[in-house]
Amino acid sequence: MTDTSRNKSWPGPLTAITLFAEDLAAAKEFYQRAFGLPVHYEDETSAVFRFGDTLINIIDVGGAPELIDPAPVAGPDAGSRLQFTLTVDDVDALCEELEARGVSLLNGPMDRPWGIRTAAFQDPAGHIWEIAS
C-alpha cells in the first residue's frame, strides 16, 4: 500500500493525453472530420481537442523529444502499443456515420466474448480508437 497522505489528489483525474504525429495537418483534419470536434487550442506545432474532461493534444513529432527525453520517440511503423476506447450508445450506427465521414474501420462492428460490441479505426499517425457499447 502506498502512502498518499502527503498528496491526497494522487492519482488525480486523467486530464490530457499527448499523441505524436508526423503530419500534424492531416491529424488535425482527421480529428475534426472523424469526431466532429472543433480545435480547442492550436499553435504551429500542436492541435488540442476536448473529449469531455480529457484533452487530446496532438503534437508534431519534431517536438516530441523535448517532452519525453531521454525516452525515444517511436515511429508509426513500430506497431500499435495502445488503444483508446470511447463508449457510445450504438456502435453500428456510429460505424455508419464514421464511414460516411470517410473514416475506414480496422474491424467491426463485432460482438466480443466479454459482452460488448466494438469497432476500431486508426488516425493518420497510427493511433487506434475503439468505439464500444
Reported pTM? 0.86
Domain carrying residue 98: 16-61+82-132
pLDDT computed for residue 5 by the predictor: 61
Query: How many other C-beta atoms are found inside a 10 Å radius of the C-beta of residue 48?
Result: 18
All residues at 6 or more sequence positions from 68 whose CB lies less than 8 Å from its CB, including other chains: none
- The CATH number of residue 53's host domain is 3.10.180.10
Q: Would 69 be classed as within a structural domain? A: no
23-43 in b/e burial notation, b at 16+ Cβ within 10 A? Answer: ebeebbebbeebbeeeeeeee
All residues at 6 or more sequence positions from 41 whose CB lies less than 8 Å from its CB, including other chains: 47, 48
Q: Would 68 be classed as within a structural domain? A: no
pLDDT computed for residue 59 by the predictor: 95
pLDDT computed for residue 4 by the predictor: 52
pLDDT in tens, 45-80: 999 999 999 999 999 999 999 999 999 999 888 888
**Under a CB-based contact definition with an 8 Å cutoff, are residues 94 and 88 in contact?**
yes
Q: Would 75 be classed as within a structural domain? A: no
pLDDT in tens, 72-104: 999 888 888 889 999 999 999 999 999 999 999
Q: Would 110 be classed as within a structural domain? A: yes
- Number of domains, the chain: 1
